[in-house]
């Protein structure tokens, strides 16, 4: 599992003690500025806590080199980078020793069948002078890299799914395929995500204020219950 305990200064997270169970889907909700993104970056090892600890499998994240860390935890954000080089080069960033068959399997998992339409396939150049991927294709390449890295835990900024309607359905399917069977911590921008999660963590002013299932938190009548009622117009 992933364990996180942190107590920082007044301008950052001030009181979070959280253990995420293997295979669990945890949604993190709260108002803008509550600390959701900060928590996600700390859990993924992108940022290091000033005090407290973030551990994965009992090992402090700070003690893992980046390659080992990415084998365990990956942060999926709304930024999708395409690097100069071939499709193969872009994918092997995540798995340098992957075979072409493994690269094609990862692309198939996320529905990137457009690769087959490129004259050089995996050897096609991306960027100026070559194929210029659109937003959906860039996202599929990023998600295929996640499949190849095969981490057991994903920190998901849900903004990844908010593309234009033409590509949203394909993106949702690709994302669902990547999330299947993994521990998922979703920084939720939609309360439907919280409803579907195993547990919900509510953050306010850098603190973890509520933690439980959707139904338990609605019954408790606290902040989450108010959010849920207002979302339904009650």
pLDDT digits (tens, 9 = 90+) for 187-229: 887 788 898 899 999 998 888 899 999 999 999 999 999 989 8
Question: Can you give the pLDDT at residue 162?
Answer: 47
Interatomic CA distance for residues 193 and 126, integer angstroms:
34
Question: Can you give the pLDDT at residue 167?
Answer: 58
Rounded (10°) CA dihedral 8, 12, 14, 18: -90
More confident residue, 178 or 29: 29
Among the ranges given (44-53, 79-88, 140-149, 175-184), the one the predictor scored with the smallest mean pLDDT: 44-53
Mean pLDDT of 149-167: 71
Strand (E) positions, the chain? 2-6, 16-20, 25-29, 53-56, 59-60, 73-76, 85-86, 125-126, 153-157, 183-187, 199-204, 207-212
Question: Can you give the pLDDT at residue 17?
Answer: 80
How many structural domains does the chain have?
1
CATH code assigned at 202: 3.40.50.300
The domain containing residue 180 runs over which residues? 2-231
The confidence band for 11, taking pLDDT boundaries of 50, 70 and 90, is very low
Strand (E) positions, 57-96? 59-60, 73-76, 85-86
Question: Can you give the pLDDT at residue 169?
Answer: 66
Question: Can you give the pLDDT at residue 97?
Answer: 94
Kindly tell me if the per-residue pLDDT of 32 is higher than 50: yes
């Amino acid at each position: 599992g992933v364990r996180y305990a942190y107590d920082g200064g007044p301008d950052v997270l001030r009181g979070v003690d959280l253990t995420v169970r293997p295979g669990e889907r945890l949604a993190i909700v709260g108002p803008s500025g509550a600390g959701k993104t900060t928590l996600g970056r700390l859990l993924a090892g992108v940022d290091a806590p000033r005090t407290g600890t973030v551990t994965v499998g009992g090992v402090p994240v700070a003690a893992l080199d980046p390659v080992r860390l990415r084998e365990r935890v990956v942060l999926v954000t709304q930024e999708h980078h395409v690097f100069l080089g071939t499709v193969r080069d872009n994918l092997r960033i995540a798995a340098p020793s992957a075979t072409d068959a493994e690269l094609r399997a990862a692309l198939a998992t996320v529905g990137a069948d457009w690769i087959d339409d490129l004259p050089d396939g995996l050897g096609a150049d991306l960027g100026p002078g070559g194929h210029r991927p659109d937003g959906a294709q860039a996202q599929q390449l990023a998600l295929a890299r996640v499949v190849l890295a095969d981490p057991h835990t994903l920190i998901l900024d849900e903004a990844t799914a908010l593309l234009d309607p033409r590509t949203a359905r394909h993106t949702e399917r690709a994302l669902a395929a990547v999330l299947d069977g993994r521990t998922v911590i979703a920084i939720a921008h939609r309360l439907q995500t919280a409803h579907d999660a195993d547990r919900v963590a509510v953050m306010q002013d850098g603190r973890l204020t509520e933690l439980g299932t959707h139904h338990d938190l609605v019954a408790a009548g606290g902040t989450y219950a108010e959010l849920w009622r207002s979302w339904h117009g009650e």
